[in-house]
Amino acid sequence: MWLLMAWAIPLLLGTTRETSMLLTCMETVTRELVSWMRGHESSVSSISVHAAGRYAITTSSDTAQLWDLDTFQRKRKLNIRQSVGIQKVFFLPFSNTILSCFKDNSIFAWECDTLFCKYQLPAPPEGSSIVYKVFAVTRDGRILAAGGKSNHLHLWCLETTQLFRIIQMPTKVRAVRHLEFLPDSFDAGSNQVLGVLSQDGIMRFVNIQTCKLLFEIGSLEEGISSSVISPHGRYIASIMENGSLNIYSVQALTQEINKPPPPLVKVIEDLPNNTLSSSNLKMKMVSGRVQRPARSKESRIQTRILKQNLEGNVDNKENELSEGLNKKRLQILLKGYGEYPTKYRMFIWRSLLQLPENHTAFSSLVDKGTHVAYLNLQKKYPIKSRKLLRVLQRTLSALAHWSAIFSDTPFLPLLAFPFVKLFQNNQLICFEVVATLIINWCQHWFEYFPNPPINILSMIENVLAFHDKELLQHFIERDVTSQLYAWPLLETVFSEVLTREEWLRLFDNVFSNHPSFLLMAVVAYNTCSRAPLLNSTLKDDIEYFFHHRNNLDINDVIREVYRLMETTPADIHPRSMLDAFVALTKGQYPIFNQYPKFIVDYQTQERERIRNDELDFLRERQTVENMQAKVDEQRAEDEAWYQKQELLRRAEETRREMLLQEEEKMVQQRHRLAAAKRELKMKEMRLQDAARRRFLKLQQDQREMELRRLEDEIERKVQMRDEEIAATAKDLEMKQLELESQKRHYEKDLTRSQDAIAKEIRDGADAHRRKVALEEHMFRNLLETSQLGNRTRRVVEDNLAKAEQACLDADWQIQALHKQKCDDQQRSEGYQEVATLLRKNRRREIEVLNAMMKEEAKKWKEAEEKELHLESAKRASALSDASRKWFLKQETSAAREHSGDLLCEAELPWLQREHMASNYLSQTSQLNGVSEMDSSTQTFSSRKTTEWNHTEHDLLKKVRNLRQRLTAQARDRCQPPHLLVT
Specify the pairing of strand 162-168 against strand 282-289.
Answer: parallel
Q: Are 506 and 498 in contact (CB under 8 A)?
A: yes
Q: Residue 216: which H helix or E strand, with range?
A: strand 212-217
Mapping DSSP to helix (H, G, I), strand (E, B) and coil, where does residue 635 land? helix
| Sign of the torsion angle spanned by Cα atoms 484, 488, 494, 498 | negative
% helix, strand, coil for the chain, step of 5? 55, 15, 30
Rounded CA-CA distance 349/422 in Å is 12
User: 3-state secondary structure string, 66-103?
Assistant: EEECCCCEEEEEEECCCCCCEEEEEECCCCCEEEEEEC
Tell me the pTM.
0.38
Alpha-carbon distance of 892 to 901, in angstroms, equals 15
Dihedral of the CA atoms 740, 746, 750, 751 (nearest 10)? Answer: 40
pLDDT of residue 434: 92
Biggest CA pair distance of the chain: 215
Tally: H helices and E strands in the chain: 24, 24
Q: Vertex 214, ends 213 and 218: CA angle to 5°?
A: 90
**Beta strand segments in 243-313, E:** 245-249, 264-270, 282-289
Q: Region of 72 please: left (phi>0), alpha (psi -120 to 50) or beta.
A: left
The pLDDT value given to residue 522: 93
Q: How many CB atoms lie within 10 A of CB 433?
A: 25
Strand partners, 845: none
Phi, psi of 234, rounded to the nearest 5 degrees: -95, -30
Whether omega for the bond prior to residue 574 falls within 30 degrees of 0, making it cis, is no
**Cα–chain center distance at 128:** 51
Angle between the N-to-C axes of helices 427-441 and 412-422, in degrees from 0 to 180, rounded to the nearest 10: 140
Helix (H/G/I), strand (E/B), else coil: 730:
helix
208-225 b/e (C-beta count within 10 Å ≥ 16 → b): beebbbbbbbbebebbbb
Alpha-carbon distance 327 to 274, whole Å? 52
Q: Cβ neighbours of residue 105 under 8 Å, at least 6 residues apart?
A: 123, 124, 130, 131, 132
Distance CA 914, CA 493 (A): 173
Q: Which of 102, 87, 3 is nearest to 45 (CA)?
A: 87
In sequence order, the 6+-apart residues with CB closer than 8 A to the CB of 590 are 439, 584
Exposure class string for 264-287: b at 16+ Cβ within 10 A, else e: ebbbbeeeeeebeeeeebbbbbee
User: Would you state the pLDDT for residue 701?
Assistant: 87
Q: How far apart are CA 409 and CA 395, in angstroms?
A: 14
Sign for the CA dihedral angle at 939, 941, 944, 947 comes to negative
pLDDT lower than 50: segments of the chain: 1-2, 6-20, 260-281, 283, 286-323, 788-789, 903, 905-918, 920-941, 944, 976-982
Q: What is the four-CA torsion angle of 611, 617, 623, 624, rounded to 10 degrees?
A: -160
- Burial class of residue 524 in the structure, from the number of CB atoms within 10 Å of its CB (0-12 exposed, 13-18 middle, 19+ buried): buried
Q: H-helix or E-strand containing 243?
A: none
Contact (CB, 8 A) for 39 and 77: yes
